[in-house]
A and B are shown apart, each in its own frame.
Chain A
Amino acid sequence: MHPAPSVILFSTLSGLGFGLLFWLGLGFPDVSGGVAFVFFAIAYSLAVGGLLASTFHLGHPERAIKAFSQWRTSWLSREGWAAVAALIVGAAFGAGLVYMDQRLAVLGWAASLLSLATVLATSMIYTQLRTVPRWNMPLTPVMYLAYALAGGALLAGQVKFAIGLLIVAGLVQIACWMLGDRALAGSGSTLATATGLGRRGAVRAFEPPHTGNNYLLREMVFVVGRKHAAKLRVIAIALAVVLPVALLMAPFHHVLAALAVLSHVAGVLTSRWLFFAEAEHVVGLYYGKR
C-alpha cells in the first residue's frame, strides 16, 4: 500500500495521543491544575492532530461529518465515534482536573476505555481488510494497542510500565513482521485464484491493462525493496523500542526522557511507514506485482 504521510502521521500521533489519554484517565500520572493542563494539551494535540492529518487524504474533507453515520458496520465510523467520545469524556475529566482539581474517576476510566476503543477501532480499519493479508490478523490490533499503551506510558512518564510495554510492543511488532511475511502466501490468494486460470497451468501477468498510471497502482501496488525493508525494520525496532528502553533504564533525566520519546515517535513512524509500504494488497496480483 502507498505509505501516505497523512495516514502514517494520523495513526502514529493519534495512537500516542489516545495512549496518553488512557494513562491520564487512569490517573497516571496523578496530576492536576497547570501540570494536568500540559499533559492533556499534549494528549489532545496528538490525538486531534492525528485525526486532522487523516482528513488530508480525503477527497472531500468538508463532508467528514458524514463519516459518523455508519457506526453499525464501519470501523472507520466507529473510530470516529470512539474518538469523539474519548475526547469529550476525556475533556470533561481533564476539565475536572485542571479547573476544579477534581478527579472524576468514573469519567477517567471511561475516557481510558474509550481511548483504547479508539485505537482498537483504528487498528480494526486495517485488520478487517482481507485484501491485505499482512494486516488481516489478530496481532494487528494487539500491536496498535501495544504501541499506544507503551507510547502513552512513555509520555505519561510511567517509566516502569513504559519499559515493560515497550518490550511487549517490540515483541508483538517482530511477531507481526514474521507472521506478516507469510500472510500473503497463507491467504490463499494467488494469481491463479485471482484469474481462475490456475487449473490450466502456471499463470503469469503479461501486458498490463494500461501503460498509463492509475489510482490502483499508486494506492495499492506500492512495492518496497526487500533489503530496504529489512534495514528499516531494524531502525524501527531500534528507535521505537531498544533506544527508549535503554534511555529509560539510564538514571532519569528529562533530556533522556525527551530523547526516548522522540526516538520512540521516530521508530513508530518508521514502523507505520513499513506497515503500509510492506502491505501487499491482493489487487497487486492482477498486475503481476506480487
Chain B
Amino acid sequence: MRARQPAVETSPKVSDEVRQTTCYMCACRCGINVHLKDGKVAYIEGNRDHPVNKGVLCAKGSAGIMQHNAPSRLRAPLKRVGPRGSGEFEEISWDEALDVAVGWLKPIRETDPSKLAFFTGRDQSQSFTSFWAQNFGTPNYAAHGGFCSVNMATAGIYTMGGAFWEFGQPDWDRTKLFMLFGVAEDHDSNPIKMGIGRLKANGGRMIGVNPIRTGYNAVADDWVGITPGTDGLFILSLIHVLMQSGRIDLDYLARYTNAPVLLNCDPKSKMYGMFLRNAEGKPQVIDRATGKPAPFDKRGITPDLSGTLREAGITHKPVFHQMAEHFLSPDHAPEAVADRCGVPADRIRAIAAELARVAFDEAFELDIEWTDFRGETHAKMIGRPVSFHAMRGISAHANGFQTCRALHVLQILLGTVEVPGGFRFKPPYPKPIEAHPTPHCGASPNRPLDGPHLGFVRGPQDLALKPDGSPARIDKAFTWENPLSAHGLMHMVISNAHAGDPYKIDTLFLYMANMAWNSSMNTRGVIDMLTDTDDDGNYVIPHIIYSDAYSSETVAYADLILPDTTYLERHDCISLLDRPICEADAAADAIRWPVVEPDRDVRGFQSVLVDLANRMKLQGFTKDDGTAKYADYADYITRHERKPGIGPLAGWRLPAEGSGVGGSSSEAHAEGRGSPNPDQLKHYIENGGFWSQHIPEQAQYYKPWNTAYQDWAVSLGLFDSPQPYLFQLYLEPLRRFQIAAEGHGQRQPPDHLRDRIRTTMDPLPVWYDTTPPEQEAYPVHALTQRPMAMYHSWGTQNAWLRQLHGRNPLYVPTNLMRQHGLQDGDWARVTSPHGEIIVPVMEMAALNDNTVWSWNAIGKRKGAWALEPDAPEATRGFLLNHLIHELLPPRGDGLRWANSDPITGQAAWFDLKVRIEKAPDQTESQPAFEPLASPVGTGPKTLTWKVGK
C-alpha cells in the first residue's frame, strides 16, 4: 500500500531582500548575506563571493540574529544615578549625554589632554579612534592588543615585517605540513578552518602543539601536549637539530635575511653586536663574487653567509656565525630540553626530521618568473610546503616575544616564508619596521598629539618618556619596563590611573571592552579601583564614559553610557589603514552599513565620536572656516584622506582630479590611490560590502623582495616607494637596549631593570623560565581557551549559543582527577598566589598531565547581560581572571614586577600556576559577587523567532 506523500513546498521564497554586509561577532570579519522579511532580519548566511569566508559562516556568525534581538541591548544613553557598580541608571537624551561628555572632555583638552585615557577594546576601527585621540591630543590611547597578543604581532613585524594574527596565512592550497602552536580559535577563524579542511583534502598533515587537544588540535595528525611556557625551548631545540644536520635553506638565508649581515664582533667596541653599516646607514654584507663588503641591497651581489671582515681594527662576521654558535649550543639539544618541555628527545628529533623532509624533499617549483630587489631574475619559484601558525598560546606568556621570534626564525631557516607552500603575508604586509611610525607622546593643551600614539621603537631614543625620564603614558607603554609595547598596555590603565602612577587622570573613556569582568586581570581588584573614593568621597577615577551595545558588567561601573547600535545598524570600515580583510593573493577591504534601522535611541559610536569632535572642534575634524568636516562616520569614511589620495577605503576612488592623485585607474575609478568618491559606499554595497584587487601572479610570493609586488604595492598606495628589506633573524633594536643596559648612551634604564634587559632582550631568540620562585607551591598550569561558538562575554546573551556553552567546568587531566579523588561534577578549590576560586570539575584525558583549563569568559556576573540572576553562567560559570594579577606577588625586593612580557608588556595570562584540591559541594561557583541591577530587565520566557509568518 502506498498512500500519497504530502506535498512539500520545496521552493519557498527565501526572503524579500538580501543585504550584504560584514559580520562582527569576532575579528575575522566574514561577509554575510542578511536575509530580510518585512524589513526584519530573518536569516544570516555567509557571502560566497567574500574573500574571507567564501560562503561559510561560523556558529557566532549564524547566531548574529540572536545577538541583534538580544534583550540585553541598551536602549538609550544612560546616566548613573546609584553608586558606581550598583547598575542604577536613568535614561537620558543624546543631547544631554553629549553635553555631559563635552563638559568633562573640553576642560581637559584645554588644560592637560593627557588627563583623558581613551582605550578601545575589540573594535575594528582603530585607525579612526586613534585619529580621534590624536586630534584630541592625549597620549593615552591604545586598543586592547597589549593584553591580547602583542607579542605575536611585534615579534612578527620586527622579525619578518608581518605577523600571524590575521595578517598572514599558510599557503593552504599548497602546504603539505602545517604546524600549529597554541591556537584554540584565533582571529582568522573561518580561514583557518577552511584551510585545515583544504590541507586535509589535499592529503596534507598537521601537527598541533598545545597542552590541550581540542578543536584544531583534535584534528591534528600529531599532537604535542607541551608543558605550557616551554615552546621557546622546544623550538630552539628544533632549530638546533636542523642546524646540526645542515637541514636549512642556505640560499634563502643568504639572499633574504640578515644572516649574512656583518656584525661587530669586538666585545670591547661600543658598537659591539651592531651591524656594520655604510655611510647611508645600510647594513653591509660580503659579496661572494668579490669578497668585498657591499650594502645588502646592492644590485647583482650575492651575500655570503661565511667569511670575516676586519675594518678599522674591528672584526665583523656574518650574523649567521653568531646564530650557529647560539643555536648549536648543547643547551638547546633535545636531550637538554625534553624534560622541561614534556616532549621526549626522540620526538623532537623526529619532528625536526619531518619538517626538513617535507621542506626539502617535497620541495616543488612553480613556473613563474620573478625579479628580486637586487635585479636578479629567477625563472622559478621554489615551494617549501611547510607552514606554521601560532597565536596566544605562545604569545600570552612573559617569554612570549622571544618564543614567537624563535618560531619565526625556525620557519625562515626552513626557507618557508613567502614561498609557495609556506607562510604568506596579506597586504598591507609585508612591511619593514622602517615603514612603521615610532611612538609619539608629545601632548600640549588644545593641540593634537605630535604624531601617532603607537609605533615600533628602534632603540631607547624612541621610548615614550618625559624629559624627567618618567613615563609619558598612563599605561607606561614604551618605557624601560616594556620598551617594545607596540599595542599599549590596556590591562595597566585602570590600576595605574587608580594609583596615580605615573599620574592621575580625570576621565577614563572606554569603548567595547569589558574591563570590569573578563577583560581584566584581578577582576575584583579592578572593580574596587573603579569604585574607590578619595578622602573627599570623590571617585579616585573621577569620570568614566563607556560605549557598549549591551548591558555588560562594565556598564555598571561607568558614569555615562553611550549606547552603540548593533553591527547590522551602522557604518563601519574595515580598512587597509588598519586591519583589512586581505588575502595572501589579494588586497581587500570592507564596510558595514545599516542593513536595518535601529528601533531604539542608540547611535553608532564612531558617529558619536565625530559628533564629539565637532562639538570640541578638534583640528582634524574641522575645516579652516571652523565648520565641521564630517557629518558622521559614513561621511568620514568617504571623504577622509590620511594622505593625499589615501583614504579609509581603497575601492572605487576617483582618478586624478580632486586631490590630484590618481592610482591604477580604470575607466571611471581608481583603486588604492585616488580622490574621495561621494558614491563610494554605494559601490561597496552593490559589490556585497567589500572591495578586492588581486595581486598579479608574478607578485604573489617573495613579496618583500619581489619587484613586481613592491611596484604593485606602491601603485595601490600601500607604500610611497618600494620597500624591500631583509628578514631580521638578528634584531638590532634589541641590541640597542642591551647596550643601554650595559651603561652606554644618553638614555639609561633604571638600575633595577638593567639585568633583565640584558638577559631578555637578546637579539637572537632565547628562552627564559617565567615561573616565579614563589610558585613552587602552585605546581599546576591553568589555561583558558576560547570556545569556537562563543565570543568573549558577548556570546552569552545569545539565546542559541548559551545553550551550547552556558557554564564552564574546570577540565582536569585524568591523573590529577585520581590524585585528588575527584569525579565529574565534584568541586575543586583552585588557588593561585593571588586568590582562590571554587569551581566544578570535569575529567579530560587528552590533556597535558600538569594542566587544567576552562573556556574563557563564560562566567557572568549576576544581573548582567539581561540574564536571570540564577542563569548557569552566573551560578556555575566562572572566570580564571580572579586568580591572575596584573602584578606578580612581591618578592621582597620592594618592587612589584608586572605580570607581563618584559619586552612588549604583553599580559602573561598563561603563566598562571595554581594548586587544586577537592572542595565540599557548592551551590555556586566561588567567588560569588553581589548581583547588579539590570538597566534593561531580563529576557522573555520563550522564544519562537520566526519573522515570516
The proximity string for B residues 259-284 relative to A, scoring 1 for CB distances below 8 Å and 0 otherwise, is 00000000000000000000000000
B944 beta carbon closer than 8 Å to chain A: no
Asked if A72 CB lies within 8 Å of chain B CBs, one says yes
Q: Is the CB of B807 within 8 A of A211?
A: yes
Instruction: Check A253 for interface membership: any CB of B closer than 8 A.
Output: no
Interface residues of B in 796-845 (CB under 8 A from A): 802-807, 842, 844-845
Whether B1 contacts A211 by the Cβ 8 Å rule is no
A204–B845 CB distance below 8 A: yes
Contact bitstring A207-237, B, C-beta under 8 A = 1, else 0: 1011110100000000000000000000000
- Complex Cα distance, B842 from A204, in Å, reads 13
Instruction: Indicate if the CB atoms of A212 and B845 lie closer than 8 Å.
Output: no
Residue of A72, A204, A207, A211 touching B806 (CB-CB under 8 A): A211
Interface flag for B872 (CB, 8 Å)? yes
Chain A residues lying within 8 Å of B804, measured Cβ to Cβ, are 209-212
Shortest Cβ distance from A101 into chain B, in angstroms? 44
Q: Which residues of B contact A214 (CB under 8 A)?
A: 803
Q: What's the nearest-Cβ distance from chain B to residue A140, in Å?
A: 28
A206 and B802 contact, CB distance less than 8 A: no
Are A212 and B844 in touch, CB under 8 angstroms? no
**Which residue on chain A has the smallest CB distance to residue B802?**
A212
Residues of B within 8 A of A211 (CB): 803-807, 872
- B residues contacting the other copy or chain, number (CB 8 A): 12
Which A170-224 residues have C-beta < 8 A from chain B? 204, 206-207, 209-212, 214
* CB–CB B1/A72 < 8 A: yes
The dominant DSSP class at the A interface is loop
Chain A residues near B805 (CB-CB < 8 A): 211
Closest Cβ of chain A to B787, distance in Å, is 10
Contacting residues of chain B (759-812) with chain A, CB-CB under 8 angstroms: 802-807
- A212 to B802 alpha-carbon distance, docked (Å): 8
A72 cross-chain contacts in B, Cβ below 8 A: 1
Residues 856-895 of chain B, each 1 if its beta carbon lies under 8 Å from chain A, else 0:
0000000000000000100000000000000000000000
In the complex, chain B residues 1-33 whose Cβ is within 8 Å of any chain A Cβ: 1
- Measured between beta carbons, the chain A residues less than 8 angstroms from B842 are 207
**Minimal beta-carbon separation of B795 from chain A (angstroms):** 13
B787 nearest CB neighbor, chain A only? A207
The listed residue with most B CB atoms (<10 A of its CB), out of A204, A206, A210, A214, is A206
Instruction: List the A residue with the shortest CB-CB distance to B218.
Output: A206
Q: Chain A residues with Cβ under 8 A from B803's Cβ?
A: 210-212, 214
Q: Which residue of B lies closest to A70 (CB)?
A: B3
Most buried by B among A72, A206, A207, A211: A211
**Quick one: which of B802, B803, B807, B872 has the most chain A CB within 10 A?**
B803
- CB A63 to nearest CB in B, in angstroms, measures 14
Complex contacts, A212 vs chain B, CB 8 Å: 802-804, 806
Q: B844 to chain A: which residues have CB within 8 Å?
A: 206
Contacts of A210 in B (CB 8 A): 803-804
Residues of B contacting A206 with CB < 8 Å?
Answer: 844, 846
Shortest beta-carbon distance, B247 to chain A, in Å? 33
Smallest CB–CB gap between B334 and chain A, Å? 28
B537 CB, min distance to chain A CBs, angstroms: 44
Q: How far is the CA of A206 from the CA of B842 in the complex (A)?
A: 9
For the complex formed, measure the closest distance between the CB of B854 and the CB atoms of chain A, giving whole angstroms.
12
Nearest chain A residue, comparing its CB with the CB of B804: A210
Residue from the set A72, A210, A212, A214 with the largest chain B CB neighbour count within 10 Å: A212
Report the minimum CB–CB distance from B704 to chain A (whole Å).
43
CA distance A209 to B805 in the complex (A): 9
Bound-complex Cα distance A212 to B798 (A) = 13
* Residue ID in chain A nearest B808 by CB atoms: A211
- Give Cα distance in the complex from A206 to B846, angstroms: 10
Cα separation A214 to B804 with both chains bound (whole Å)? 11
Say how far A288's CB is from chain B's closest CB, in angstroms. Answer: 9
Instruction: State A55–B241 Cα separation when bound (angstroms).
Output: 73
Cα–Cα distance between A46 and B795 once the two chains are bound (Å): 52
* Complex CA–CA separation, A35 to B516 (angstroms): 78
A151 to chain B, nearest CB (A): 37
Q: Which residue of A lies closest to B846 (CB)?
A: A206
CA distance A209 to B1 in the complex (A): 40
Contacts of B802 in A (CB 8 A): 212
Least distance between A77 CB and chain B CB atoms (Å): 13
CB of B807, distance to nearest CB on chain A (Å): 5
Q: Which residues of A contact B846 (CB under 8 A)?
A: 206
User: What is the 8 Å Cβ interface bit string for chain A, positions 122-143, against chain B (1 contact, 0 not)?
Assistant: 0000000000000000000000
Q: Which of A40-78 contact B (CB under 8 A)?
A: 72
The docked-state distance in angstroms from the alpha carbon of A161 to that of B79 is 82
CB distance from B517 to the nearest CB of A (A): 20
Q: Nearest chain A CB to B876's CB is how many angstroms away?
A: 9
Roughly how many angstroms separate A223 CA and B845 CA in the complex, as a whole number? 25
> With the chains together, A210 CA to B842 CA distance in Å?
15
A204→B847 CA distance, assembly (Å):
14
Nearest-Cβ distance from residue A62 to partner chain B, whole angstroms: 19
C-alpha spacing A211/B804, complex, angstroms: 5
Roughly how many angstroms separate A214 CA and B806 CA in the complex, as a whole number?
13
Closest Cβ neighbor of A72 among chain B residues: B1
B872: which A residues are within 8 A, CB to CB? 211
Cα A210 to Cα B802 with chains together (Å): 9
What CA separation (Å) do A132 and B845 show in the bound complex? 30
How far, in whole Å, are A53 and B121 apart by their CA atoms in the complex? 57
Q: Considering the chains assembled together, what is the distance between the CA atoms of A72 and B872 in angstroms?
A: 47
Bound state CA distance, A204 and B845, in angstroms?
9
**B855: min CB distance to chain A, Å:** 10
In the bound complex, what is the Cα–Cα distance between A95 and B805 (angstroms)? 62
Alpha-carbon distance between A27 and B872 when the two chains are bound, in angstroms: 61
CB distance from B797 to the nearest CB of A (A): 14
Nearest Cβ in chain B — how far from A267, in angstroms?
34
Which A residue sits closest to B805, measured CB to CB?
A211
Cα separation A168 to B846 with both chains bound (whole Å): 52
B807 contact set on A, CB distance < 8 A: 211
Q: CA–CA, A251 to B846, complex, Å?
A: 68
CA distance A212 to B873 in the complex (A): 11
Bound Cα distance A207, B790 (Å): 15
Which single residue of chain A is at the shortest CB-CB distance from B876?
A211
Q: Please, which residue of chain A has its CB at the minimum distance from the CB of B845?
A: A204
In the complex, what's the smallest C-beta–C-beta distance from A243 to chain B, in angstroms?
39
Cα distance, A204 to B1, chains bound together (Å): 44
C-alpha gap A72/B842 in the complex (Å): 48
Docked CA distance A212–B846 (Å)? 24
| Chain B 429-441 interface mask (CB, 8 Å, partner A; 1/0) | 0000000000000
- State how many angstroms separate the Cβ of A203 from the closest Cβ of chain B: 11
Alpha-carbon distance between A207 and B844 when the two chains are bound, in angstroms: 9
User: Which residue in chain A gives the minimum CB-CB distance to B873?
Assistant: A211
B307 CB, nearest partner CB in chain A, Å: 55
Cβ of A207: which chain B residues have Cβ within 8 Å of it?
842
- Most chain B beta carbons < 10 A, residue from A204, A207, A210: A207
Minimum CB–CB distance from B677 to chain A (whole Å) comes to: 48
C-alpha gap A32/B804 in the complex (Å): 63
How far in angstroms is the closest Cβ of chain A from B406? 32
Map CB proximity to B onto A147-175 as digits: 1 under 8 Å, 0 otherwise. Answer: 00000000000000000000000000000
Chain A residues within 8 Å of B1, by CB: 72
Closest residue to B814 on the A side, CB-wise? A204
- Nearest B residue to A73, CB-CB: B1
How far is B872's CA from A211's CA once the two chains are assembled, in angstroms?
A: 9
Complex interface: chain B residues within 8 A of A209 (CB): 804
Residues of B within 8 A of A204 (CB): 845
Nearest chain A residue, comparing its CB with the CB of B807: A211
Bound state CA distance, A141 and B345, in angstroms?
64
* Min CB–CB distance B734 → chain A (angstroms): 42
Give Cα A204 to B846, complex, Å. Answer: 11
Known: A206-B844, A206-B846, A211-B804. 9 other contacts (CB 8 A): A204-B845, A207-B842, A210-B803, A211-B803, A211-B806, A211-B872, A212-B802, A212-B803, A212-B806
Q: Can you list 11 contacts pairing A with B, beta carbon distance less than 8 Å?
A: A72-B1, A206-B846, A207-B842, A210-B803, A210-B804, A211-B803, A211-B804, A211-B806, A211-B807, A212-B804, A214-B803
Q: Which 3 interchain pairs have the tightest Cβ spacing?
A: A212-B803, A211-B806, A210-B803
